[in-house]
Amino acid sequence: MPKANKISTVAVIGAGQMGTGIAEVLAKHGYEALIYDLDKNRVRASIEASAGYFRRQGETGKMPGEAAEQAILRIKGAFSLPDLASADLVVEAVSENEGIKRKVFAEVCTVLKPDAILATNTSSLSITRLAASTDRPNRFIGIHFMNPVPVMKLVELVRGIGTDQETFATAKAFAESIGKTVTVSEDFPAFIVNRVLIPMINEAIYTLYEGVGNVEAIDTGMKLGANHPMGPLELADFIGLDTCLSIMQVLHEGLADSKYRPCPLLVKYVEAGWLGRKAQRGFYDYSYVPARPTR
């Protein structure tokens, strides 16, 4: 199994959709994955979902059955932060909120090996600022995976001002060892992919808000008219409307340009708890099969 220099055990903090996908890709490529979340039920649900994913991979012949079974065994639940002490690399994938991430870093640094690398999967936040809240800004880096992690080929690497060359080289070798293509972004709000993608989604929400078209017309338009695999509103629901809003806020505040103002309809949906697929409701209602547009 390919492994990046000096890394064999990887801890993933945050057992949501990204943390679960990251653990799956790690296990598939021979790494021991420890998955942690504040909510123990989330850890159990994540492990269960990953086991289901690998069983389907085995049943459909996408992975040899035995390899799929071994991958299941490589994902282990961590139910307290000291359980992460053996990690050579930590990938933080908790909610896109700077305060929450800072708190997690402060706590996890107390249990990590001094030479462990700390990475964040943040979609938008300053790597330099997050690094400054840790005891190891030189060994801190942004490793930004795309959703769904097992399918999407890209990883963006983002150095903070203090990230050292060895950390960057190890992170790059690690990302390539799990089959990802690496692009490098400078440490600016939302990096490259989300600087382009999320304002497009925000504009689609404005198009809905202003009554230019309904959900179906906007998504069909972009799928058939621009060959996007998902319409922008479907994609917003898929990413999570809370995450989309956080990214727009970081762009708006970080670049101080009114063109990044979050659409009031996006704000309202998040305030209502209509966060997209993960909440069963966003621009679509997922209690129906197939999901029905809500506007």
Ligand X SMILES: CC(=O)CC(=O)SCCNC(=O)CCNC(=O)[C@H](O)C(C)(C)COP(=O)(O)OP(=O)(O)OC[C@H]1O[C@@H](n2cnc3c(N)ncnc32)[C@H](O)[C@@H]1OP(=O)(O)O
For residues 258 and 206, is the Cβ–Cβ distance under 8 A?
no
Complex with ligand NDP: residue 84 or 117, whichever CB lies closer: 84
Q: Which stretch binds ligand NDP (CB under 6 A): 1-9, 11-19, 172-180, 212-220?
A: 11-19
Footprint of ligand X on 253-292 (CB under 6 A): none
From 22, 94, 235, 263, residue interacting with ligand X (rule: CB under 6 A): 235
Class of residue 119 by CB neighbours under 10 A (exposed 0-12, middle 13-18, buried 19+) = buried
Element (H, E) at 71: helix 65-74
Complex with ligand NDP: residue 193 or 267, whichever CB lies closer: 193
Dist. CA 230–CA 211, nearest whole Å: 21
Site string for ligand NDP, 86-125 (x = CB under 6 A): -------xxxx---x--xx----------------xxx--
CB neighbours of residue 180 within 10 Å: 22
Residue 11 contacts by C-beta under 8 Å, 6 or more apart in sequence? 33, 34, 35, 36, 78, 84, 87, 89, 90, 91
Catalytic residue among 126, 194, 202, 246: 194
Does 278 count as an annotated binding residue?
Answer: yes
Catalytic residue among 121, 144, 185, 234: 144
Site string for ligand NDP, 131-170 (x = CB under 6 A): --------------xxx-----------------------
**The pair of three-digit structure tokens given for residue 193, joined into one six-digit string:** 């992919």
The string over 2-27, giving b where at least 16 C-beta atoms fall within 10 Å of a residue's C-beta and e elsewhere, is eebeebebbbbbbbbbbbbbbbbbbb
Catalytic residue among 46, 50, 121, 123: 123
User: Could you say whether residue 150 binds ligand X (CB under 6 A)?
Assistant: yes
Q: How far is the CB of 175 from ligand NDP (least distance, A)?
A: 14
Binding site for ligand NDP (CB under 6 A): 13-19, 37-39, 42, 93-96, 100, 103-104, 121-123, 145-147, 239-240, 243, 278
